[in-house]
Structures are given as structure tokens and as C-alpha cells.
Structure 1
Amino acid sequence: MFPRRMSKICSLSRRFRKLCFILLLMVLVNAVLQNLLAHNGTDGRRQDLVDKSFRNLSNGPRAAGPRRKAVVLFSRWRSGSTFMGELLKKAGRGIFYSYEPLYDYGAHVLYEDIEETRMAVEEVKHILRCQFDFGKIEEILRSNPLLREACETSGYCKDVNHTAELCRRSSLHVAKVLRLGLQWARPLLEMEDVEVKLIYLVRDPRAVLSSRARVAWCSTPTCKDVEMVCSLLEDDLLEASLLQEDYPTRFHLIHYDEFCQTPFAALQKLMTFLGLPVTRDQKKILQSKLPSRDPLSIYKNSSAQAQLWRTRTSFTGVVMPVQRWCWTSLQNLGLRMFFSEKNLANLSLPVLLQPGESDDFKLVV
């Protein structure tokens, strides 16, 4: 309607044509200004939202979108978890590593359905969601190369919001959990906002308890009591078979003794499970040729290291009691029984039963 009226006015006379030109110019300028203001307003609001979300980065639920990926390593003390954690940490660039988020619970395995256990599970969930407590930033920093690298290039080294953002942007989040019974892995696998893959690392309990016997901090029943440790292991192995059935593409069991026997093939199998290629840094860890007596060193001959316990453990004090209480688990893990100190110390006799090899499995009393 408006353009037709203007056209009619403009055709009346020379004076009206001049007025028409001025009016049209004013309309055009007004339209351009309104469009610019609308555009800037939208961008301004959008920028305000971005700034606000950055300022408030911390512990709220993640916005809708693709689920973050996380790998949780479940194991126990002295079961090769430091070694396996380092392999996972070197699975690529941009990996965020949460080292023992339940460290504050001490040398204690939480397996009962009690408030303390449920709180620990929720704490692990928060960590997998990149929701951090300011008081634990120092712990994260010590074992997280991605965070340390970021600290060297920014002024937000100990800022909980910056840590949360770095975690969210990481290519993969790896967390090592040593203090939960394996049945409590199920709530993690059921998380809707984080896609969790779970690795359960298990080792010969004779080697585990041999190593624990030499450290003062292992003083709780769930850490040093043979009967208790064997009971927990049996429960874990039963749960592992159920998790493998329920989550065949998201649960992976690693037998430490088998892994050390053929480390490169086992590493390839692990990385295939994760959908990632084997890295040069991982191969470097496996290429060391000498055993090491440093329990914290990861650069050591894996095969020799796995057998080291056999030359320095007590046969009557460790091996015989473990074979008594853990006999079902030893059988399920395909491990050889030793009935003399001589056979135990004979490293040419492999601890793993070979395919088709039978072992006269006797209960040692």
C-alpha cells in the first residue's frame, strides 16, 4: 500500500517529486538502521550468554549434545594399576587423567551398600562429568600432564572452572578407581550424560598380597586380610562375567599376568577395544628390557616384572594362605598352584597354565 501511494504522490508535480525523493531516502535509512540494531542486539545477547557460561563454568550439568567419553580403570592396589594407568594416559594427545579420585577414602575397599559407598560412587560420577572440588585441584595437577601443560601457558593453573573446561574439551577422560567393589561399576556404565568404557584389571592375588605385605599403609582388612581379599576378588570376578555379558562392547577384563606375557598383542587388543591406535609412547613403555625393583617405575620388562614376586615372597606366610582362600579365583584365572618353595622359585615353570594344560588343583590347608 505504502509504495503505491508514494508512487502516486511522486507523479503529481516536480515539487512533490523532490519531496518524494527525500521521504524515500529517510525510509531507506530508517530500515537499514533498524536491521543493524536488531543484528547487533542478537549478537550482543549471544555474546553475553557465552561470557556468562564461561564465568559460570563449573559443576552444573552439561548442556545437551554428544556425550563425553570416559574410560574408567577399576583395579586394586599393587595389581599393576600404575603401569596400566600410564599406558592409558599415553593413548593419545589431549587426554585428561584423574588419578585415584577416591584417594581420601584410604586403603579401604568400599563394597557394602552403605551411605559411604554411595557417596563415593557419586563422587566418581562428578569427576567423570568434569565437576571438580577446588580442594582437589592439587591432586589432579600432580598426575595430569594435560593440566600441567595448560598451567604453563595460562594464569588459570588452579582455577576450578578452567580445569572443568579443560576436562570437557579433552579428547578422552581416563580415571583410575581402586577403592570400589566391581559391582559399583554398574552405576557408572548406566550414566546417561557420559559414555563410559570400563577396564577391570586383575592380578594373581599371591603377587598382590606379597607386594602389600611390604608396605606399612596396607593395614585395613580389605587390604591385607587374606580371607577378606580373596572374598572380594571372588565377588569381583563373578561381577566381571555379568558385566561382560551385559556390556560386551563397553567392558574389558585385563589379566595382568597374561598382559605381561604378551604385552604388545595385549596392548593392541586393549586399544582396539577403545577404538584408538597404539601410540609410539605406549610402545616405548613396553620396550624396556630390564626388571625394576622400583614399584613406581613403569619402564621395566613387563614379563620379568610380573614374576618378580616369586623370588622374594614367603611361601608359608603368603602363598599357602592365599592358595587356601583364593583357590576358586586362582582356578578361574587359569593360574598354576605351587606346592613347594622350589617350584615357586623355578621361573621356567610359568605361573599361567598353558592352553590344554591341566593342573592338579588341590586345596592347601
Structure 2
Amino acid sequence: MERRSSLPQDLREVLHCLKMRSKYAVLLVFVVGLVIIEKENNFISRVSDKLKQSPQALAEANDTEASPMPAENGSLASLRQLDAAFSQLRMRLRNVTLQLAGGLATGGTVPPEPRRHILLMATTRTGSSFVGEFFNQQGNIFYLFEPLWHIERTVTFEPGGANAVGSALVYRDVLQQLFLCDLYILESFISPAPEEHLTPFMFRRGSSRSLCEEPVCTPAVKKVFEKYHCKNRRCGPLNVTLAAEACRRKQHVALKTVRIRQLEFLQPLAEDPRLDLRVIQLVRDPRAVLASRMVAFSGKYETWKKWAAEGAAPLQEDEVQRLRGNCESIRLSAELGLRRPGWLRGRYMLVRYEDVARAPLRKAEEMYRFAGIRPTPQVEEWIRANTQAPRDGSGIYSTQKNSSEQFEKWRFSIPFKLAQVVQDACAPAMRLFGYKLAGSPEALTNRSLSLLEEGPPSWVT
């Protein structure tokens, strides 16, 4: 039975590998683990052969007294116990080997982190695409950009009342399935419908690195038009099955959406034992949001632009009411999160875009710490490379910004009369988030006067 005493030595060899920092460390860990498993298989085979000839061999192998059962039955029963014990040992060795290799792959010796499910909750033109990249750039996170876009395009909901509740419930249920890597749920909403789980119409596929990596990125197919193609490589139509498998292989899942407004509808997700939800609510000065939307969605804001330029007719009351309603829904969700209800405790973080723009690396670290994830060097590299862009080198949908200068650019692009309308409609939300009101055109455009109160480093509850 000398073979059993050699096992600790094998494990010591695995532990020794943990100290190695060379590029071969992960390979060595796998090799050692597989050698151990193979040796244990050989050992079991030898013991089995002996037990077929000698009923007492099992007792000797286990250093225990022989069973009082009849010889034949006792040998078979004990053999099954021994085989089961070593099967469990092999499984534990395999799991330990994979965990140790995973630790080395991330530059450490700690076991993999618990699986997290991160929801970046925002509204349009709040910088959510930029902040979403903080998680998209992390190699062990499966990230989806606006998957609820397909539901909004397919299912018609009238604003307000029961229809608003209905849309929120549908959005929530789709999010729940996506967090569980059930990407097939999107096939009911993608138009035209996927065929054999293949679709060239996955919205903004190129904004999700996980959908553009191998093996999800299959060879490109000639004469197949990929509407939302990958940015840096040509891929064939998205295979939903491969995407779902990639989701299950990643350590964490992160989703970005601008279509969930009511935080209270997320309670079933927070209480789902299969999920470990973290909600990051991103907010931005509503005056800046309006200025950005008037550029990005020019056609929808013709009334605002004409009134600001000519002032011939007052703004339609429904336009102002819509603005007020948007601000109120954001405020009510934030107040709920900051009240720290039991189901949301430790799962909610409020972030101002302006704070991210001024200190992107520090805010990214805070968000990762809140999520319970260790950021990789690639995240820091991306942030440094994409927050020091040329002043005029980025478009309205770009995630490449000179962020320390961009966040106040709106002050010079919106007339004071429009700023006043926003301040009147959104005053409660602005007070909660620490946005100061401008009392005059001069105050609006004077950079030496800050319109941002210094709040806490982050609102985490």
C-alpha cells in the first residue's frame, strides 16, 4: 500500500506549481492533476483484481477489521464502497486542479469567485454604453448590450397604467432567463425569427465581446448579411446555442439596459436563489441628458428645438409631462434603493455619470468592489486608452471620450430657457442626485461655477 502514502507528495507538487509565475504554470497544474487521477485509476484496478481472489484484501487496504458479512457479499459490498470513495476523490482532485489553474490564470492563488449577476440600469444618453464597457472588457464576464431592445421592438406597450406594468414584468422575466444563460428566450422576439438557432440580427452584437470571441464567432458565410456585425473580425450568423454555452462557461454575467425604470420590479430577481444580483443604477444631470438626446434623436425633439430657437409657441404640455415622468421614475427607484429594503440590501449601488467621467478608473474599481469581482489589467488598460481621446475625435455613439472634459460640454449647447424647463420638471431628482440649479445664462456657461455637489464616493446599500 505504498501507493497511498505517495498521494500527499503529488499534492505538494500541485501546491508548488501555485508559486510559479511562468507561462507554463497552468499547463503544469493540469498535467499533475491528470497524472494523479490516472494513478488512482490504476490503483483501483489493482485492488479490484486482488479482491476478486481474496476477501480479506479490502480490510487490509483500508486498515480496518474484516466485515462479519459472508466473504463473497462482504467483498463486493466493500469494493463498491471503495470504488465510490475513490470516484469522489478523483472528482475532488479534478475540481481542485481546475480551480488552482483558474487562480493561476488570473495571476493569483485564490479559488474562483462566486458567480455574480450584474445589471447596469440606466436611461438613454446617460453614458451607459461607456460604463458598460467596464464589464465588457473583463474576460471572465459574459456581457450583453441592450438585449431588451428586441422585446421593445416586438411587443407593443402603451405608456402608463397597466401597460407600463405589463412591459416591466416582461422585461424582468426576460432578464431573469438571460442571467441564467437561457438565450433562447430572445428567439421569440428577434425579427425575422432565427432558423435552427442561427440569426444575423442580434442587436449590437459587436458591442458584446463574448459574442465575437471563439467559439461563438463561427466562420463568415458569404452572401449572409450580418446587420449588427462584430467590429474587429468577420463572423458568421450568431449561433444562439454556442452563445448560451459561452455564457455558462464565463464566471459572471452582466447586462446593460435602458428599458427598466422601476427598481421594485426586480425584487424576484434579487430573491432568486439561483442568482446573486447586483444592480448599478447610473444617473446623469437631466439637462445634459436632454442636450444629448436633442443631438442623438434629432427628429424626436423638433418641437424642443423650434421652441428654443424661435419661441413662437409654448412647448406642448405632454412633452413636459413626459420629461417630468422620466425624472420621477428615476428618482423613485433611487430612493427605494437608498432606503435599503431587506431584499435589496448589499445589492444596490447608485452612480453618477459625472463622477465616472471625472475619475473613471477609481469609479470602475468601486463598481467592481461592489460586485465582488476582481478586475483584470485589461479593464484598466481599456479605461486609460478610452478616456483620453482627442477632443473632437468621437461620435455621438462612441465609447471613446476625453471624459474629464466631455461631462460639462452640454452647458454650452443648450439654451438657458431649455435648462429652466428641465430644472422646473426635474427639481426633486436633481436635488437627490446633487445637481445644482443654474439661476442665469451666465451661471450656466461659467465653468468656474460647478453645477455638481460633492456627494459621497458612491451610494452603496
Normalised by the length of structure 1, the TM-score is 0.70
Identity rate, percent: 24
Alignment of 1:188-199 (within 5 A): 188-199=269-280
How far 1:112 sits from its partner (Å)?
A: 5.5
Query: Aligned partners of 2:294 and 2:166: how far apart in 1?
Result: 30
- Which of 241, 250, 254 pairs up with 1:170? 250
User: What is residue 432 of structure 2 aligned with on the other side?
Assistant: 332
SS in structure 1 of the partner of residue 256 of structure 2: strand
Judged with a 3 Å threshold, the aligned counterparts in structure 2 of structure 1 residues 193 and 299 are, in CA distance, closer, same or farther, namely: same
Query: Aligned partners of 1:154 and 1:324: how far apart in 2?
Result: 54
User: What is residue 362 of structure 1 aligned with on the other side?
Assistant: none
User: What is residue 389 of structure 2 aligned with on the other side?
Assistant: 288
Matched, 1:321 2:426: no
Residue ranges of structure 1 left out of the alignment (5+ in a row): 1-30, 36-65, 357-365
Matched, 1:351 2:451: yes
Q: Is residue 288–residue 411 contact of structure 2 (8 Å, CA) maintained in 1?
A: yes
User: What is residue 119 of structure 1 aligned with on the other side?
Assistant: 170
Query: Aligned partners of 1:167 and 1:222: how far apart in 2?
Result: 41
RMSD: 3.5
Matched, 1:70 2:171: no
Query: Aligned partners of 1:222 and 1:93: how far apart in 2?
Result: 42
| Cα deviations by residue, 1:214-252 (Å, 9 ceiling, x for unpaired) | 314757x79983222222222222223134775343211
| Cα deviations by residue, 1:45-94 (Å, 9 ceiling, x for unpaired) | xxxxxxxxxxxxxxxxxxxxx9742211000000111111112211x213
Read off the aligned partner of 1:131 and give its amino acid letter: D
Normalised by the length of structure 2, the TM-score is 0.56
SS in structure 2 of the partner of residue 71 of structure 1: strand
Q: Is residue 285–residue 298 contact of structure 1 (8 Å, CA) maintained in 2?
A: yes
Matched, 1:143 2:207: yes
Alignment of 1:1-365 (within 5 A): 68-90=115-137, 92-104=138-150, 105=152, 114-132=165-183, 133-134=186-187, 136=190, 138-139=201-202, 141-150=205-214, 151-152=216-217, 158-181=238-261, 182-214=263-295, 215-216=297-298, 218=300, 225-243=322-340, 247-274=344-371, 275-277=373-375, 279=379, 280-288=381-389, 290=391, 294-316=395-417, 318-354=418-454
Judged with a 3 Å threshold, the aligned counterparts in structure 2 of structure 1 residues 94 and 277 are, in CA distance, closer, same or farther, namely: closer
Judged with a 3 Å threshold, the aligned counterparts in structure 2 of structure 1 residues 321 and 77 are, in CA distance, closer, same or farther, namely: same
How far 1:300 sits from its partner (Å)?
A: 1.3
Judged with a 3 Å threshold, the aligned counterparts in structure 2 of structure 1 residues 67 and 277 are, in CA distance, closer, same or farther, namely: closer
How far 1:161 sits from its partner (Å)?
A: 2.0
| Cα deviations by residue, 1:125-155 (Å, 9 ceiling, x for unpaired) | 1111111233645326333222212244679
The total of aligned residue pairs comes to: 293
Residue ranges of structure 2 left out of the alignment (5+ in a row): 1-75, 81-112, 191-198, 221-235, 302-317, 457-461
Which has the greater radius of gyration?
1
Judged with a 3 Å threshold, the aligned counterparts in structure 2 of structure 1 residues 121 and 158 are, in CA distance, closer, same or farther, namely: same
Q: Is residue 71–residue 175 contact of structure 1 (8 Å, CA) maintained in 2?
A: yes
How far 1:272 sits from its partner (Å)?
A: 1.8
Between 1 and 2, higher relative CO (CA 8 Å, sep ≥ 6) is seen in 1
User: What is residue 46 of structure 2 aligned with on the other side?
Assistant: none
Q: Is residue 281–residue 351 contact of structure 2 (8 Å, CA) maintained in 1?
A: yes
Read off the aligned partner of 1:179 and give its amino acid letter: R
Q: Is residue 157–residue 167 contact of structure 2 (8 Å, CA) maintained in 1?
A: no
How far 1:158 sits from its partner (Å)?
A: 2.9
How far 1:351 sits from its partner (Å)?
A: 1.8
